[in-house]
Structure 1
Amino acid sequence: MVLYTLAPGIRLSFNEIYTSSWEKGDSSIFGERMLIVNFCIHGRCDVSLAKNRYAIVKENQVCISTVMPTKDFYYPRSLYEGIQLYLDLDILHDENGQDFLSALGISLEQIVEIFCEKDGLYLHQMNDTLRTLVKDAWDGKDDIEIGTLRYLAVRLLHEIMSMPAESETETYFTRSQIAMVKEAETLILSDLTTRITAKELADRFGVSESSFKFYVKGILGDSYLNYFRKKRMEKAAELLETTNLKVIEIASAVGYENQGKFAKVFADTYGVSPLEFRRLSK
């Protein structure tokens, strides 16, 4: 995470996170009354909020929130890339309209009223203009000046005003459902040699199989079968690159007794056979 202070009460960060969880960070970033705007480029972010709410921010979505995070952030697939604005409403109120956002016609109170008045949280797919602004800023993030970032903040907040006022229909999950899926993911990834069915896990957690699969898809962003197949193939690719294990040994290590079936799934995933993948990775 690279954090820039653009002015008192106005911060912008570029978030590159390649782990499954991340602490909510320095509490000094968060004032008593905050407006946080999150533009997700790749991956997903599940955020535990106050009032027992969770925000599940998906790829190409914008999340506008006045509800503060209360626990660590959770990143399915250990991937999240995005741009975030932290706007301290109390500090900016004390600026009496002298901050650069107000000077350029951006009313944060109006944004709060339109998008967050109902329940403090807004989620929606970015429109084409927002998506282009975010992508261009991300591509140029390694060589960017504060003045350019201030201009970016103004443009992003201005374009938000053209978004639909109502959130997209979202499914919100309880804390226990999020914890269930995280526990299931940890259990499976801790030993990929063992095959555990969705039914077995559902029984373990005392829910129906259909409910468990629904939670997995909603929280991890893919079906139970597809998500963990991809995880097995990612591990297989890592072993092919970093070890001299035979293909049949790698197949077994990721839960495949049949080498031919493993090779087919691997080729479907990466476009080449396991041996060709190993050759190309050298």
Structure 2
Amino acid sequence: MNWDAIFPKGSHVTEKTTRYTVYTVDFPDGSGTMTAHRVLPGILLVFNDFYTRCGFRNEKTRPGFIEVNHCLKGSYECVLPDGRHISLGMQDFSFSDMGRPMERSSFVSGEYCGLSLLIHVETAEQSLNDFLGEQIPFSDIFERLLYGEGVLILRTDPRIQHIVSELYHAPDGGHSGYYKLKTMELILFLAFHCDNKSAPAHPCYCRNSARKVEDIARKMTENLKRRYTLSELAAKYHISMTTLKTRFAEVYGETPYQYLKRRRLERAALLLKTTDMSVGEVAETVGYQNPSKFSSAFTDYYGTVPREYKKDAVLEQSIPFGAGANGNG
């Protein structure tokens, strides 16, 4: 199987060993790397590390393949061909049909780290059953999970976080067997503990309505110091307050306030990690006038105070994301 053809347009191999392959994509404002491990025939485990706001457009249709994504850091948004908007935040999962690819996508916070499982259903079903020693109709299960929608979203499901966290921190040595076991555990969980009720309902709004909400979200975040009221935005984009709130929740899976707060904190994390700005300067830049409120909100979201986050980020800069994944850590 030629896995190279599965990766996004513009990807090129920058490192290849017997254990993994590193694909790199260059963007106008940054770059991304994808470190791929073949764990079983038909299944590829990929560690993603992107530092860019850009994304991908008009990806090739790849029938017979599905993709599982987990967001560890940052956020990701995409628009499907039918106009639906999908947004992934920290610890969210998506399960999607690569035969119905996205229309466009972006890494809205400028940073995205996570993992993907790329699965060729027919080949993977045989290898999974050979590994388990029993016949499980994985192709039927996957089809049921997608339920005709082409995508399943799992929001910060605590039942599977331990599986994923262990994939990010594989022990030194023996990565191949460890990844095989943990990948199998994750697929079995998805197969037998999830259902299509977790999928976002097919929205009953037109493309024009979705575009307005997208424009509103962009307006809210283009200058994080600027505070708009919902009434101002509703009037500017000729949409009622009720419709704005309803459509925003349908498109982004959260309220306008939750969305704005998340984007502010994600931007703050990126500034702390990549600039010499002080915590107070970062707080002001992302729209917090009170540093203590910023610190409290940041700690609630990231589990550590901004100062410690910045200190840890400096230490991490010398260690590539997924270093254990490429056999270096």
Compared with structure 1, are the counterparts of its residues 145 and 184 closer, same or farther at alpha carbon in structure 2 (3 Å cutoff)?
Answer: same
Judged with a 3 Å threshold, the aligned counterparts in structure 2 of structure 1 residues 114 and 194 are, in CA distance, closer, same or farther, namely closer
Tell me, yes or no, if the aligned pair for 1:115 and 1:122 is still in contact at 8 Å. yes
Say whether residues 1:35 and 2:66 are aligned partners: yes
The one-character-per-residue Cα deviations of 1:194-217 (angstroms, maximum 9, x if unpaired) are 443322222222211232234445
Q: Could you tell me which residue of structure 1 aligns to residue 130 of structure 2?
A: 103
Corresponding position of 1:14: 47
- Residue 211 (structure 1) aligned with residue 227 (structure 2): no
1:268 and 2:300 correspond: no
1:153 partnered with 2:194: no
Structure 1: gaps of 5 or more residues: 257-261
**CA distance 1:107–1:141, change in 2 (3 Å):** farther
Matched residue type, 1:201: L
SS of the aligned residue for 1:68 comes to coil
Give the Cα separation in 1 of the matches to 2:268 and 2:235.
27
| Structure 2 CA distance for partners of 1:16 and 1:182, relative to 1, 3 Å | farther
Confirm or deny that 1:187 pairs with 2:219: yes
Q: 1:113 to 1:204 in 2, by over 3 A?
A: same
C-alpha spacing 1:236/1:160, structure 2 compared with 1 (3 Å): closer
Shift of 1:103: 0.9
Q: Which amino acid aligns with 1:131?
A: Q
2:152 is aligned with 1:122:
yes
**Stretch moving more, 10-19 or 203-212:** 10-19
The structure-2 alpha-carbon separation of the partners of 1:202 and 1:143, relative to structure 1 and needing over 3 Å to count, comes to: farther
TM-score by length of 1: 0.67
What is the deviation of 1:36?
Answer: 1.9
Deviation at 1:72, TM superposition (A): 2.5
Greater C-alpha Rg: 1
The whole-number CA distance in structure 2 between the counterparts of 1:78 and 1:172 is 28
Question: In 1, Cα distance between the equivalents of 2:78 and 2:58?
Answer: 13
Identity of matched residues, %: 19
Cα deviation for residue 151 of structure 1 reads: 2.6
After the TM superposition, which residues 53-202 of structure 1 pair with which residues of structure 2 at under 5 Å, given as runs? 53-57=84-88, 59-66=90-97, 67-89=99-121, 92=123, 97=126, 100-105=127-132, 107-125=137-155, 128-140=158-170, 145-168=175-198, 170-172=200-202, 175-192=207-224, 194-202=226-234
Q: Deviation at 1:229?
A: 5.5
Distance verdict in 2 for CA 1:143–1:78, change over 3 Å = farther
- Report the equivalent of 2:325: none
Structure 2 partner of 1:5: 38
Structure 2 segments unaligned to the other structure (5+ residues): 1-33, 298-305, 312-329
Aligned length: 258
Distance 1:172 1:62 in 2: 18
Quick check: which one's helix share is greater?
A: 1
Tell me: CA distance 1:120–1:226, structure 2 relative to 1, closer, same or farther (3 Å). closer
Query: How many angstroms apart in 2 are the aligned matches of 1:82 and 1:107?
Result: 28
SS in 2 for 1:46: strand
User: Which residue identity lines up with residue 101 of structure 1 in the other structure?
Assistant: L
Query: Residues 154-212 of structure 1, C-alpha deviation per residue, up to 9 Å, x if partnerless?
Result: 22112223214332263555654554344334334444454433222222222112322
The answer for the alignment partner of 1:259 in structure 2 is: none
CA contact (8 A) 2:76 2:89 kept: yes
Question: Does the Cα contact within 8 Å between 1:20 and 1:78 map onto a contact in 2?
Answer: yes
Contact persistence 1:37–1:85 (CA under 8 A): yes
CA contact (8 A) 1:116 1:122 kept: yes
